[in-house]
Amino acid sequence: MIEIEDVSVRFGGVRALTGVSLTVAEGAVCGVIGPNGAGKTTLFDVITGLRRPTSGRVRLRGADVTSAGAVRRARLGLRRTFQRPQVFGRLTVLDNVLAALEWRGGGGGLAADLVGARSRRRLEAARRDRALAALDRCGIADLRDAYAADLPIGRRRMVELARAIVDDPAVLLLDEPTSGLDADQAAVFADVVRSLDATVLLVEHDVGFVMTTCDRVVVLDLGEVIADGPPERIRTDPRVRTAYLG
Ligand X SMILES: Nc1ncnc2c1ncn2[C@@H]1O[C@H](COP(=O)(O)OP(=O)(O)OP(=O)(O)O)[C@@H](O)[C@H]1O
Residues making contact with ligand X (CB under 6 A) = 11, 14, 16, 34, 36-42
How near is the Cβ of 182 to ligand X at its closest, in Å?
A: 22
The Cα 55–Cα 7 span in angstroms is 6
Q: Cβ atoms within 10 A of the Cβ of 163, count?
A: 26
How near is the Cβ of 212 to ligand X at its closest, in Å?
A: 20
- The torsion of the CA quartet 237, 17, 173, 108, rounded to 10 degrees, works out to -160
DSSP state letters, 159-222: HHHHHHHTT--SEEEEESTTTT--HHHHHHHHHHHHH-SSEEEEE-S-HHHHHHH-SEEEEEET
How near is the Cβ of 34 to ligand X at its closest, in Å?
A: 5
How near is the Cβ of 43 to ligand X at its closest, in Å?
A: 7
CB closer to ligand X out of 17 and 158: 17
CB closer to ligand X out of 135 and 220: 220
CB 61 within 8 A of CB 76: yes
The Cα 70–Cα 154 span in angstroms is 27
CB closer to ligand X out of 97 and 218: 218
The Cα 59–Cα 43 span in angstroms is 13
CB closer to ligand X out of 14 and 63: 14
CB closer to ligand X out of 39 and 106: 39
CB closer to ligand X out of 35 and 77: 35
CB 218 within 8 A of CB 233: no
How near is the Cβ of 97 to ligand X at its closest, in Å?
A: 28
CB 16 within 8 A of CB 41: no
How near is the Cβ of 84 to ligand X at its closest, in Å?
A: 13
Sequence letter at residue 87: V
CB closer to ligand X out of 167 and 228: 228
Q: Tell me the Ramachandran region of residue 108: left when phi exceeds 0, alpha when psi lies from -120 to 50, beta otherwise.
A: left
With 0-12 / 13-18 / 19 or more C-beta atoms within 10 angstroms meaning exposed / middle / buried, residue 178 is buried
How near is the Cβ of 44 to ligand X at its closest, in Å?
A: 8
